Each structure stands twice: as C-alpha cells, then as structure tokens.
Amino acid sequence: MWIIDGHCDVLLKLWNYPNQYDFYEEGSTLDVSYDGLCATNSFIQNFAVFVPPRIPIGQRFLAAAQQIDIFYQKVLRDQSKMAFITNREELDDLRVVREKDDHALIGAILSLEGADALQGEIAYLRLFHRLGVRSMGLTWNYANEVADGVQEIRNGGLTRFGHEVLEEMKKLKMICDVSHLSVRSFWDVMEYSDLSVMASHSNARALCPHVRNLDDDQIRALIQKDGMIGVTFVPYFVYQPANESNISHVIRHIEHICELGGADNIMFGSDFDGIEEKVAGLETTKEYSSFIHMLLQYYPSDLVEKWAWKSSYVFYSKAFS
C-alpha cells in the first residue's frame, strides 16, 4: 500500500549536520531516507523547511533558502529516484509511473513551516513559490509578522500582513498549514474561502490535551472545509505521559476523527527527523508498513488506503489544480 506523509524535518537535520547524514546512503540513520521510503512503499513525502527561532530575524530568509538548496542538491540529486511535485500534472504523471512500476519514482513536495522566513516581505513568498514551495504554515509555536503561534499566551490572530500573505497564497494556490497556529489565528484562516487548508501534523486534543492538538470544533471546521488532518507520531501529541505512547494510542486519534465525521480527511504527518523521542513501533519511516498492517486488522482495506494515500492525493490534486 502506498504512503503519503505530510510532514518531516529531514531538511533541517541535513542543514544542521551537513557532513553527518546522506539521504541516499544505504543504512542511513536518518528517520526519513531514500532506502526507508522505498522499504515502506512511499508514494509522496512532504519535506518541510523549518528555520529555528535561534536564527536572527534578518538571517531567516537565507536559512530557508539554504535548506531549499539542500533539498535540490541532496534529495533531488537523483531524479530517476525522487520526483519534485509542484503541480497537478506532475502529480498525475507520478501516479501513472507508479501504476506501471510499483517501485519506481517517489514524489517530493516542498513546504515551509512558519512564515518567519518571509521577514515581512511578500516578495519572499513569491520567490519561495517560484522555488517550488507549495504549502506553508503561517507560524511555528511563537508569534511572527503574520500571526500568533500556539504558545503565545495572548492568543492573537492574523496581523494585517498576515491577511496580505493569505490573499497572495490564494492567488498562488498555495496550501495553508494550520498546525502550530494559535486558536484565534486558526479561526481567522477558516474565514477564507477558496483556500486549501490542512493541519499537517496535529492530533485530537480531546484525547491528548496538548496545546498543539486540535479541539473538536477545529477538527469539524477542517472537515467542513475539505481539509486534511495529518495524524502525527509525536509522542507528546499522542498520549500523556509521552513515554508510554504506543501505536494503539495513535489509532485512537484516527478513531476520534472518524467519529467526528472525518474518515475522508485523515492522512499521516509523522514529523520524523524533527523529534528525538518516538512512539514505540513508529521510530522511522520504515515502520509505516507494520503500522498499516496493524490498521488493516481493525479497518477495511479501502478505508486504510484512503488514510495512507488516496484522500491526501485527492486533496493535493485539487489544491494544485
């Protein structure tokens, strides 16, 4: 069964440790490597660009650009193995290739985790789009020029510049990722029509009361907007205490979203290479196969296939139209 994963931080790790890891190295210790993606029959992996808050504001565009350069130089260096997906035609072409040869190309989508790299310049958004970025989360956990993140006590919403950014994203047909947004910012985004929206790596707050998770009203709003919810494998978002989290707890989040009417809105957003602690049995992308096998013990294969790739494929197809 194919897999589409909506979020990983391998570019950040390759940027932080330029001489330590190789995406294509056999036996690579990266959570997400080419061998690992092949082993789990990956269809598409979304690669996030994340600029850590320790980077001075004036250097954040450069840091993001360096990670995009790493994406081109280290992930896309063998385009007979990895295919860059930036539009619907490329998405459909990849599916045709894979239907002919199940072990052929793996797709790669590029996203930006946090608009900090824009440095308050709308022109930088257009530049990132020209470089192939097709999805952007407006914030990480803290406030920036666009909006407040989930860890800002004041719970502010979109700024004036934030509204300008969303209008430009609509024109560019970019996906807005609401993971990490403050509650007020989330609802500000939901007021926009004709905007493709996803939560690339968030779980249900009703099951795990972490500020990064979505409450039931937020989940319902994403469902009504035909958005996607990337059930994530971050232990702190899966179960508390986090060190006791396991695959059964991940499945409970899936079940809860289904109970709210979101069976067609589920995908997976592992956050691999962005986390040190792991859910038992979901340590790297290679464990996806056993995870899918476990899901098949509880749910019909057509439903599991929707979660694994079909629903997110439809979502990306519409967003990229």
The helices-and-strands tally (H runs, E runs) of the chain is 13, 9
How many other C-beta atoms lie within 10 A of the C-beta of residue 85? Answer: 24
Residue 103: pLDDT band (50, 70, 90) is: confident
Mean pLDDT of the chain, nearest integer: 98
The predicted-structure confidence for 115-132, as pLDDT tens digits, reads as follows 999 999 999 999 999 999
Which pLDDT score, from 0 to 100, does residue 258 have? 99
Helix crossing, 183-190 with 160-172: angle to 10°? 50
Confirm if 270 and 10 have CB atoms less than 8 A apart.
no
Task: Measure the CA–CA gap between 107 and 44, rounded to whole angstroms.
Answer: 4
Number of domains comprising the chain:
1
Residue 15: pLDDT band (50, 70, 90) is: very high
11 φ/ψ angles, rounded to the nearest 5 degrees? -65, -40
The predicted-structure confidence for 277-286, as pLDDT tens digits, reads as follows 999 999 999 9
Task: Measure the CA–CA gap between 198 and 257, rounded to whole angstroms.
Answer: 14
Task: Measure the CA–CA gap between 42 and 5, rounded to whole angstroms.
Answer: 8
Show the domain range for 203.
3-319
Overall average pLDDT of the 155-162 stretch: 97
Which pLDDT score, from 0 to 100, does residue 208 have? 99
Domain containing residue 286: CATH number: 3.20.20.140
Q: Return the bridge partners of 137, or none.
A: 113, 177
The predicted-structure confidence for 174-199, as pLDDT tens digits, reads as follows 999 999 999 999 999 999 999 999 99
